[in-house]
Amino acid sequence: MNFKTLLFLFIVYSFNFSLILTLASSFTSGVDPNSHTSILFNSVGRANYGFDIYTLPSLSPPSNAKELKITDGVSVNFNGYFPNQNSSARSFISQQHQNLLSKTTSAPSVELVYVTERNGISGVNYVAVYCDSVSQVRSRSAVEIPTRVEVQLLPANGEISDRISMKDRPSLVGENLIYVSTHEDSGAPRASWAAVYSTHLGTRLTRRLTPKGLADFSPSVSPSGVWTAVASFGERGWDGEVEELRTDIYVFLTGDGSRRVKVVEHGGWPCWVDDYTIYFHRRSDEDGWWSVYRATLPRVGRVSTESVAVKRVTPPGLHVFTPATSSGNKEFIAVATRRPESDYRHIELFDLVRNEFREVTRSISPQTHHFNPFLSSDSTRIGYHKCRDASNEKQDDHLVLQNLENPIPGISLFRVDGSFPSFSPTGSRIAYVKLPGLYVMDRDGSNQRQVFKGLAFPSAWDPVREGVIYTSTGPIFATESSKVDIISINIDEENITYTKLTEGGENNAFPSPSPDGKWVVFRSGRSGHKNLYIIDAQDGEKGAIWRLTEGPWTDTMCNWSPSGEWIVFASDRDSPGSGHFELYRIHPNGTGLRKVIQNGSGGRVNHPWFSPDGRRIVFTSDHAGVSAEVISTPHQFQPYGEIFVANLDGSDIQRLTHNSYEDGTPTWGRVYIEPADVAKPIEGPGCTFDDCHWLSTKPNHGLKGAPIVPTTTRVQCV
Ligand SMILES: *[C@@H]1O[C@H](CO)[C@@H](O)[C@H](O)[C@H]1NC(C)=O
Ligand SMILES: *[C@@H]1O[C@H](CO)[C@@H](O)[C@H](O)[C@H]1NC(C)=O
Ligand SMILES: *[C@@H]1O[C@H](CO)[C@@H](O)[C@H](O)[C@H]1NC(C)=O
Ligand SMILES: *[C@@H]1O[C@H](CO)[C@@H](O)[C@H](O)[C@H]1NC(C)=O
Residue 216's identity, in one-letter code, is D
Instruction: List pLDDT tens digits, range 391-431.
Output: 545 556 688 999 998 889 899 999 999 999 999 999 999 99
- Which of 327, 412, 415 is closest to 378 using CA atoms? 327
Q: Which numbered ligand comes closest to the C-alpha of 497?
A: 2
- pLDDT for position 699: 60
Q: Could you tell me if residue 157 is left (phi over 0), alpha (psi between -120 and 50 degrees) or otherwise beta?
A: alpha
Q: Could you tell me if residue 474 is left (phi over 0), alpha (psi between -120 and 50 degrees) or otherwise beta?
A: left
First to last CA, the chain: 34
Residue 114's identity, in one-letter code, is Y
- pLDDT for position 511: 98
β-bridge mates for residue 272, sequence order = 278
Q: Which numbered ligand comes closest to the C-alpha of 515?
A: 3
- Which of 160, 75, 89 is closest to 121 using CA atoms? 75
Rounded to an integer, what distance in angstroms lies between the CA atom of residue 12 and that of residue 14?
Answer: 6
Angle at the Cα of 302 (from 262 to 232), degrees rounded to 5? 5
Instruction: List pLDDT tens digits, range 340-380.
Output: 888 899 999 999 999 999 999 999 999 899 999 999 999 99
546 or 712: which carries more pLDDT confidence? 546
Instruction: List pLDDT tens digits, range 483-502.
Output: 899 999 999 999 998 999 99
CA-nearest residue for atom 7, ligand 2, is 495
Atom of ligand 2 nearest to the CA of 494: 13
Q: Which numbered ligand comes closest to the C-alpha of 591?
A: 3
Atom of ligand 3 nearest to the CA of 565: 5
Q: Tell me how far CA of residue 206 lies from CA of 43, 209, 219, 666, 676, in angstroms.
A: 30, 9, 16, 33, 30
126 or 391: which carries more pLDDT confidence? 126
Alpha carbon of 589 to ligand 3 centroid (Å): 6
Spatial contact of 580 and 570, defined as CB atoms under 8 Å apart? no
SS3 109: coil
Instruction: List pLDDT tens digits, range 103-124.
Output: 555 677 889 999 999 877 889 9
- pLDDT for position 108: 79
Q: With cut-offs at 50, 70 and 90, classify the pLDDT of residue 133.
A: very low
- pLDDT for position 272: 98
- Is the bond preceding residue 436 a cis peptide, omega within 30 degrees? yes
Rounded to an integer, what distance in angstroms lies between the CA atom of residue 100 and that of residue 97?
Answer: 6
Q: Could you tell me if residue 4 is left (phi over 0), alpha (psi between -120 and 50 degrees) or otherwise beta?
A: beta
Alpha carbon of 588 to ligand 3 centroid (Å): 8
Instruction: List pLDDT tens digits, range 438-458.
Output: 999 999 999 999 999 888 999
Q: Taking residues 524-532, what's their average pLDDT?
A: 95
Which phi and psi (to 5°) does residue 647 adopt? -70, 160
Instruction: List pLDDT tens digits, range 623-682.
Output: 999 999 999 999 999 999 999 999 999 999 999 999 999 999 999 999 999 989 898 876
Q: Tell me how far CA of residue 224 lies from CA of 124, 195, 477, 631, in angstroms.
A: 23, 22, 51, 28
Rounded to an integer, what distance in angstroms lies between the CA atom of residue 515 and that of residue 517?
Answer: 5
Q: With cut-offs at 50, 70 and 90, classify the pLDDT of residue 42.
A: very high
Percent share of the chain, pLDDT over 90: 66
Atom of ligand 1 nearest to the CA of 86: 1
Residue 463's identity, in one-letter code, is P
Gyration radius of the chain over CA positions: 26
323 or 707: which carries more pLDDT confidence? 323
- Asked if residue 92 has pLDDT above 80, the reply is no
Alpha carbon of 495 to ligand 2 centroid (Å): 6
Rounded to an integer, what distance in angstroms lies between the CA atom of residue 76 and that of residue 455?
Answer: 30
- Residues at CB less than 6 angstroms from ligand 2: 494-495
Provide the Cα torsion 231, 236, 237, 242; round to 10°. -70
β-bridge mates for residue 37, sequence order = 411
- Is the bond preceding residue 108 a cis peptide, omega within 30 degrees? no
Spatial contact of 543 and 683, defined as CB atoms under 8 Å apart? no
SS3 7: strand
Q: Taking residues 273-298, what's their average pLDDT?
A: 96
Q: Which domains does the chain have, with CATH numbers?
A: 49-392 (2.120.10.30), 398-676 (2.120.10.30)
- Asked if residue 566 has pLDDT above 90, the reply is yes
| Averaged pLDDT of the chain | 85
Pairing, β 438-442 against β 429-433:
antiparallel
Looking at the whole model, is its pTM more than 0.85? Answer: yes
Instruction: List pLDDT tens digits, range 166-207.
Output: 999 999 998 899 999 999 999 898 999 999 999 998 888 899
SS3 101: helix
- pLDDT for position 2: 31
Instruction: List pLDDT tens digits, range 240-255.
Output: 888 889 999 999 999 9
SS3 48: helix
Question: What's the farthest any 2 CA atoms get from each other in the chain?
Answer: 81
| Long-range own/partner contacts, residues 487-496 (CB < 8 A, 24 or more apart) | 487/456, 488/462, 488/537, 489/438, 489/451, 489/452, 490/465, 491/431, 491/440, 491/451, 491/467, 492/466, 492/467, 493/467, 496/451, 496/452
Q: Give one DSSP letter per residue of 285-314, joined into a string.
A: TTT--EEEEEEE--SSS--STTTSEEEE-S
- Asked if residue 60 has pLDDT above 70, the reply is yes
Ligand 4 pocket mutation, candidates 583, 597, 598, criterion most atoms within 8 A of CB: 598
**591 Cβ below 6 A of ligand 3:** yes
- Asked if residue 68 has pLDDT above 70, the reply is yes
Atom of ligand 1 nearest to the CA of 327: 13
- pLDDT for position 158: 54
- Asked if residue 546 has pLDDT above 60, the reply is yes
Rounded to an integer, what distance in angstroms lies between the CA atom of residue 71 and that of residue 69?
Answer: 6
Atom of ligand 4 nearest to the CA of 650: 14
Q: Which numbered ligand comes closest to the C-alpha of 593?
A: 3
Q: With cut-offs at 50, 70 and 90, classify the pLDDT of residue 146.
A: low
- Which of 256, 263, 250 is closest to 302 using CA atoms? 263
**564 Cβ below 6 A of ligand 3:** no
User: What is the distance, to the nearest Å, from the Cα of residue 224 to the centroid of all Cα atoms in its chain?
Assistant: 32
Q: With cut-offs at 50, 70 and 90, classify the pLDDT of residue 481.
A: low
**447 Cβ below 6 A of ligand 3:** no
Spatial contact of 508 and 483, defined as CB atoms under 8 Å apart? no
